[in-house]
Amino acid sequence: MAEYKSLSPQQLRRELEALRQQYEAAQKKGLRLDMSRGKPGVTQLALSLGALDAVGSASSLKAEDGTNVCNYGAPLGLYEARRLMGEILELPPEQVIMGGNSSLNLMFDCVSQAYTHGLPGGKGPWCRQETVKFLCPVPGYDRHFAVTGHFGIEMIPVPMTESGPDMDVVEKLVAGDDAVKGIWCVPKYSNPTGYTYSDETVRRFGALSPAAGDFRIYWDNAYAVHHLYATDGKKDTLLNLMEELEKTGREDMAFLFTSTSKITFSGAGIAAVAASKTNIDCLNRRFALQTIGHDKVNQLRHVRFLRDITGIEAHMKRHEALLRPKFELVVRALSRELGPLGIASWTNPRGGYFISFDTLPGCAKRVIALCGKAGVTMTPAGATFPLGQDPEDKNVRIAPTFPDMEELREATDLFCLCVKVASLEKLT
């Protein structure tokens, strides 16, 4: 099949007619497939079952410093857990505080603390300020946008490029407006593009000169070690943001987050936030009141199971073996089915959990609706933009991790069919 734009109106109509028949046949299969969330598959979860046995009734329940992990104490988390998460973030344990099982909750807490009490360097609580704005690289992570949306924060989309957010735009907005208090970043294998911020991008982040003293980079390094399907055998690398910030005396300008949600268990991992001493002290004033400290037994389980960054890297290799075929399957199907037609583009990342897919303008909602009606649940169109509003209605997030290979093949084939149908509807 040639590019759709080279076809005559009549040819397009005939093609649409034929594909509609295929779609109707597909609908009758009664599929029930889900590619909506970045959710590990069951075979991936099985890789970490040993963690469940890593602390049992026969184990020592003492942390390195003698803390009994079953009792109160160590509100910042076990030192060895802070060290482990620090290794992922390439930061010393002293700069790391443990959360519960969700780094999202830590991000929420940081924004909430700024909203109710303000942050060091700022002019008080955000709830007392007329307007607070966040920069949101798009397409981006819907749950980030939901947090800032919850606090009534105005979200300004910033275009993502293959080397990270458009830094010309970021620098200008940050320097020119003291209502701009933050930017959401997934710097490595970004959600959903899979792009990793280039060295130059990170250096420019490290040298940002914000108008607001309480501007922070919310650096969600969720996929720091998730080199999952590099078909060229290469790994993306990310400069250490904190080192860059320290070079210019800006170490208070970032909160860094990570978790083991996609290393061990999405439902029962451990999460951490890292920051400068000033910021850590600020957060602790909240955390010390908010909780008696998070689950230390689970922290110990993770330390004993993963050990250190070498153990984590070996473990991620096992995830890679399960995920690479899935991403290859999707990318191959997209290339085969859609490549020649000139109606879509997509990313082909070396890690992370997603493929970002662009339809012709104005087609994404229709594609998702068609998929849904044929039994394949995709992330809602627009989810990758603040307030769910994709101005061009073209971005779709593909999450290939959860279905098994056969389901994934069926879901991807159906997705490609729906993209063709929606594109032809638009073109005819």
The two structure tokens encoding residue 164: 């990270």
Residue 99: helix, strand or coil by DSSP? Answer: coil
Phi/psi-derived region of residue 127, left when phi > 0, alpha when psi is between -120 and 50, beta in every other case: alpha
- Told to check if 112 binds its own copies by CB under 8 A, we report yes
- Told to check if 115 binds its own copies by CB under 8 A, we report yes
- Nearest distance from C-beta of residue 318 to its own copies, angstroms: 15
Look-up of token digits 């400290």: 293
Q: How many residues bind its own copies (CB under 8 A)?
A: 55
**What's the CA gap between 241 and 70, in Å, rounded?**
35
Residue 130 or 232 having the CB closest to its own copies: 130
Look-up of token digits 């992570």: 141
Q: Which stretch binds its own copies (CB under 8 A): 62-70, 199-207, 306-314, 344-352?
A: 62-70
- Told to check if 294 binds its own copies by CB under 8 A, we report yes
**What's the CA gap between 178 and 34, in Å, rounded?**
42
- Told to check if 71 binds its own copies by CB under 8 A, we report yes
- Nearest distance from C-beta of residue 273 to its own copies, angstroms: 14
- Told to check if 123 binds its own copies by CB under 8 A, we report no
- Told to check if 235 binds its own copies by CB under 8 A, we report no
Q: Which of 60, 116, 310, 335 contacts its own copies by CB under 8 A?
A: 116
**What's the CA gap between 242 and 259, in Å, rounded?**
18
- Nearest distance from C-beta of residue 231 to its own copies, angstroms: 27
- Told to check if 62 binds its own copies by CB under 8 A, we report no
- Told to check if 296 binds its own copies by CB under 8 A, we report yes
Q: Which stretch binds its own copies (CB under 8 A): 82-90, 99-107, 180-188, 392-400?
A: 99-107
- Told to check if 377 binds its own copies by CB under 8 A, we report no
Q: Which stretch binds its own copies (CB under 8 A): 97-105, 227-235, 337-345, 403-411?
A: 97-105
Q: Cα 122–124–126 angle (5° rounding)? A: 95
- Told to check if 65 binds its own copies by CB under 8 A, we report no
- Told to check if 108 binds its own copies by CB under 8 A, we report yes
Q: Which of 27, 102, 161, 163 contacts its own copies by CB under 8 A?
A: 102
Q: Which stretch binds its own copies (CB under 8 A): 44-52, 168-176, 224-232, 383-391?
A: 44-52
**What's the CA gap between 374 and 365, in Å, rounded?**
14
Answer yes or no: are the C-beta atoms of 12 and 355 closer than 8 Å.
no
Q: Which of 13, 27, 31, 59 contacts its own copies by CB under 8 A?
A: 59
Q: Which of 53, 162, 168, 243 contacts its own copies by CB under 8 A?
A: 53
Q: Can you say whether the dihedral through the CA atoms of 388, 389, 392, 393 is positive or negative? A: positive
- Told to check if 69 binds its own copies by CB under 8 A, we report yes
- Told to check if 209 binds its own copies by CB under 8 A, we report no
Q: Which of 21, 291, 310, 389 contacts its own copies by CB under 8 A?
A: 291
Sequence length of the chain is 428
User: How is 286-351 classified by DSSP, letter by letter?
Assistant: HHHHH-S---HHHHHHHHHHH-SHHHHHHHHHHHHHHHHHHHHHHHHHHHHHHGGGTSEEE---SS
- Helix axis angle for 296-306 and 309-338, nearest 10°, is 80
Answer yes or no: are the C-beta atoms of 273 and 236 closer than 8 Å.
no
Query: Which amino acid is located at 74 in the chain?
Result: A
Q: Which of 12, 31, 45, 207 contacts its own copies by CB under 8 A?
A: 45
Q: Which of 31, 127, 329, 369 contacts its own copies by CB under 8 A?
A: 127
Q: Which stretch binds its own copies (CB under 8 A): 33-41, 203-211, 249-257, 354-362?
A: 33-41
Residue 201 or 266 having the CB closest to its own copies: 266
- Told to check if 423 binds its own copies by CB under 8 A, we report no
User: How is 357-404 classified by DSSP, letter by letter?
Assistant: EEESTT-HHHHHHHHHHTTEEEPPTTTTSGGG--TTS-EEEE--SSS-
- Nearest distance from C-beta of residue 295 to its own copies, angstroms: 5
**What's the CA gap between 279 and 110, in Å, rounded?**
10
Residue 255: helix, strand or coil by DSSP? Answer: strand
The two structure tokens encoding residue 61: 């329940």
* Residues found near its own copies in the complex (CB under 8 A): 37, 39-40, 42, 45, 48-50, 52-53, 55-57, 59, 61, 68-73, 100-102, 104-105, 108, 112, 115-117, 125, 127-128, 143, 146-147, 150-151, 261, 265-268, 286, 289-298
